[in-house]
Amino acid sequence: MKFIIGIGGVTNGGKTTLTNRLLKTLPNCCVVHQDDFFKKPDQIEVGEDGFRQWDVIAALDMEAMINTVKGWQENPVKFARSHGVSLSPEAEESDSEEKGIHFLIIEGFLIYNYKPLIDVYDKCFYISIPYEECKKRRRSESC
């Protein structure tokens, strides 16, 4: 049995913290971080303000991301092994997902802005935090 969970939300909103806790809790759990799919800086458009536009879907290689998700869908056991994810003993005995439950968490700030990805989720979560808390976290990250 396979489940795909989407965890979206604002930058610095707690998505990665929640994802890391779920990885420790759920058996046979893999993760795809949207942040791993940013294009190279020279491929990112520069806005009118003179800054690269990192917070738009065009800054991400979404095709590569969906291909990664498809790889997990095709064989979550092989995917987990190739990404160094520990599997439950029952899942280790098999090269398919027939034994045990397998989870994929897709985590990112624009994971609900790409139609092919929307169609894969079994459960979606969106994390929001108050504006002042978000601002405080972003300031402390850049220092």
Which sequence positions are flagged as catalytic? 35
Ranges of H-type helices in 26-128: 62-74, 76-82, 89-92, 115-118
How many separate helices (H) and strands (E) can be counted in the chain? 6, 4
The tokens describing 120, both together, are 């894969």
The secondary structure of residue 140, as a DSSP letter, is H
The tokens describing 18, both together, are 């929640």
Q: Which helix (H) or strand (E) holds 132?
A: helix 131-142
Query: What is the rounded distance in angstroms from the CA atom of residue 99 to the CA atom of residue 87?
Result: 11
Question: Are residues 28 and 100 in contact, defined by beta-carbon separation less than 8 angstroms?
Answer: yes
